[in-house]
């Protein structure tokens, strides 16, 4: 193998992907393909920690795969697979569970949030979820893990588990690092711009799906909540405008200062229309590609089967080493 750094990341197959998922994660995945050896994963095992309808979940896994491909994941450059196809994830998760402490898992803010919002189903997997995520990463000897800011704490935990394990058994695991692009935007809700954009927002105007049509995109941007100052610049107390500036900046590759100049003396109406149009044009080819891929089930099947074949090779080798180290007799 060459000495390119290895990347692993996962995305949960949860139906709608918003432009927040796109600019916060998937866009990074795409941009890393040339420089790194990338393994990307549809994290279906993670998603059953909240209640799922099996038919819907199956559809969501396929649509997440199709969407990743439509966004630019290229199977000639990267490997993409479905987590549950590689049984080593669950097996390594079990081993690592013995090296993960109740106390450190209790500190995970995502667990606290999720159990707060999901009181009727605080299951054990919701709690041990970060150990499975650690197994995902360590199985592929990943150096870098491109994630959104909300996952940083999980990656920190993965590092600690890996370091702890290595401390006992020697230099086995690669110590992973969270990878975030400089300028990687955290996209906020359009209706309440101090909150992160989320597809579970009860207000449909709060988020934009990657596959949304032009009219709807423009309408939502127009309706987005802003301050009343009427001057386009990035600043304190201007969360709505700041958010639109970040969206525009992610698409156009322009700095905040450039954008401020571009819209000097132009007012919010003009700015919003421009952001809406640029965003809709940007997403259109993704939607077209998605629509053709989602109807090509045999191609999707070929992709995830090839992906699993390659992933399994790496995962089997890692797990074998770990089983030997902890004292399991070889099969
Ligand atoms: N937990 C991640 C999320 O909810 C998804 C995920 C699962 C992941 N396994 C991973 C991300 C491994 C990075 C690496 O967004």
CATH of the domain at 276: 1.10.240.10
């958010």: which residue's tokens? 243
| CATH classification of the domain holding 135 | 3.40.50.620
Does residue 48 carry a pLDDT above 90? yes
Is 193 a domain residue? no
Does residue 201 carry a pLDDT above 90? no
In this predicted structure, what is the pLDDT of residue 280?
A: 98
Pair (19, 139) in one structural domain: yes
Please tell me the pTM assigned to this model: 0.94
Ligand 1 pocket mutation pick from 14, 133, 179 by most atoms within 8 angstroms of CB: 133
Q: Taking residues 140-151, what's their average pLDDT?
A: 93
**196 is known as an active-site residue:** yes
Q: Taking residues 222-248, what's their average pLDDT?
A: 96
Does residue 44 carry a pLDDT above 70? yes
Split into its structural domains, the chain has a count of 2
Mean pLDDT of the chain: 95
At 331, is the pLDDT very low, low, confident or very high (cuts 50, 70, 90)?
confident
Pair (13, 133) in one structural domain: yes
Is 172 a domain residue? yes
**51 is known as an active-site residue:** no
Q: Taking residues 300-313, what's their average pLDDT?
A: 98
Is 191 a domain residue? no
Pair (90, 157) in one structural domain: yes
Ligand 1 pocket, residue 28 CB under 6 Å: no
Ligand 1 pocket, residue 133 CB under 6 Å: yes
**Active-site choice (5, 77, 186, 199):** 199
Ligand 1 pocket, residue 137 CB under 6 Å: yes
Ligand 1 pocket, residue 10 CB under 6 Å: yes
Is 269 a domain residue? yes
Does residue 1 carry a pLDDT above 70? no
Pair (114, 256) in one structural domain: no
Cβ neighbours for 160, distance < 8 A, ≥ 6 positions apart: 104
Ligand 1 atom 8: residue of nearest CA: 10
Distance from residue 152's CA to the centre of ligand 1 (Å): 10
Pair (57, 155) in one structural domain: yes
Q: Are 221 and 275 in contact (CB under 8 A)?
A: yes
Q: Which domain holds residue 229?
A: 204-291
Is 48 a domain residue? yes
Q: Could you give the C-alpha distances from 137 to 67, 87, 175, 225, in angstroms and in order?
A: 22, 14, 9, 38
Q: What is the pLDDT of residues 249-306, one digit of tens each?
A: 999 999 999 999 999 999 999 999 999 999 999 999 999 999 999 999 999 999 999 9
Pair (244, 107) in one structural domain: no
Pair (274, 302) in one structural domain: no
Q: Taking residues 63-84, what's their average pLDDT?
A: 97
Pick the closest to residue 241 from 224, 221, 226, 253 (CA basis): 226
- For the beta carbon of residue 5, count every other beta carbon within 10 angstroms: 15
Is 194 a domain residue? no
Q: Please, how many CA atoms are within 13 Å of residue 143, restricted to the half-sphere of its CB? A: 9
Is 198 a domain residue? no
Q: Taking residues 122-148, what's their average pLDDT?
A: 97
Pair (49, 154) in one structural domain: yes
At 182, is the pLDDT very low, low, confident or very high (cuts 50, 70, 90)?
low
**202 is known as an active-site residue:** no
Pair (250, 111) in one structural domain: no
Is 166 a domain residue? yes
Pair (168, 229) in one structural domain: no
At 183, is the pLDDT very low, low, confident or very high (cuts 50, 70, 90)?
low
Q: Taking residues 56-85, what's their average pLDDT?
A: 97
- In our burial notation (b when 16+ CB lie closer than 10 A, e otherwise), range 95-115 reads bbeebbeeeebeebeebeebe
State the Cα–Cα distance between residues 227 and 224, nearest whole angstrom. Answer: 10
Pair (307, 260) in one structural domain: no
Query: 70: helix, coil or strand?
Result: helix
Q: Taking residues 110-132, what's their average pLDDT?
A: 94
**Active-site choice (27, 196, 238, 274):** 196
In this predicted structure, what is the pLDDT of residue 281?
A: 98
Pair (286, 304) in one structural domain: no
In this predicted structure, what is the pLDDT of residue 2?
A: 63
Quote the radius of gyration of the chain (alpha carbons, Å).
Answer: 21
């Amino acid at each position: 193998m060459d000495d390119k750094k290895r990347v692993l990341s996962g995305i949960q197959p949860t139906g709608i992907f918003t432009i927040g998922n796109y600019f916060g994660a998937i866009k990074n995945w795409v941009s890393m393909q040339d420089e790194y050896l990338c393994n990307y994963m549809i994290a279906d095992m993670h998603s059953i920690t909240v209640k799922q309808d099996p038919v819907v979940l199956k559809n969501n896994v396929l649509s997440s795969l199709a969407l990743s491909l439509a966004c630019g994941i290229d199977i000639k450059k990267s490997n993409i697979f479905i987590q549950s196809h590689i049984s080593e994830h669950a097996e390594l998760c079990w081993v690592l569970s013995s090296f993960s402490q109740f106390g450190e898992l209790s500190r995970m803010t995502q667990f606290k949030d999720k159990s707060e919002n999901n009181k009727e189903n605080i299951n054990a997997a919701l709690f041990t979820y970060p150990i499975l995520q650690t197994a995902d990463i360590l199985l592929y000897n990943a150096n870098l893990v491109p994630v959104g800011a909300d996952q940083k704490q999980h990656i920190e935990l993965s590092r600690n588990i890996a370091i702890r394990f290595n401390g006992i058994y020697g230099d086995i695991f690669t110590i992973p690092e969270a990878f975030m692009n400089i300028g990687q935007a955290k996209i906020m809700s359009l209706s309440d711009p101090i909150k992160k954009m989320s597809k579970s927002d009860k207000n449909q105007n709060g988020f934009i799906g990657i596959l949304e049509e032009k009219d709807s995109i423009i309408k939502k941007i127009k309706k987005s909540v802003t301050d009343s100052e009427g001057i386009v610049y990035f600043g304190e107390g201007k969360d709505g405008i700041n958010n639109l500036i970040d969206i525009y900046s992610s698409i156009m590759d322009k700095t905040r200062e450039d954008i401020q100049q571009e819209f000097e003396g132009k007012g919010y109406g003009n700015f919003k229309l421009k952001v809406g149009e640029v965003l809709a044009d940007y997403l259109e080819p993704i939607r077209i590609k998605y629509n053709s891929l989602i109807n090509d089930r045999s191609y999707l099947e070929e992709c995830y089967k090839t992906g699993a074949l390659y992933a399994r090779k790496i995962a089997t080798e890692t797990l074998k080493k770990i089983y030997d180290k902890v004292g399991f007799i070889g099969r």
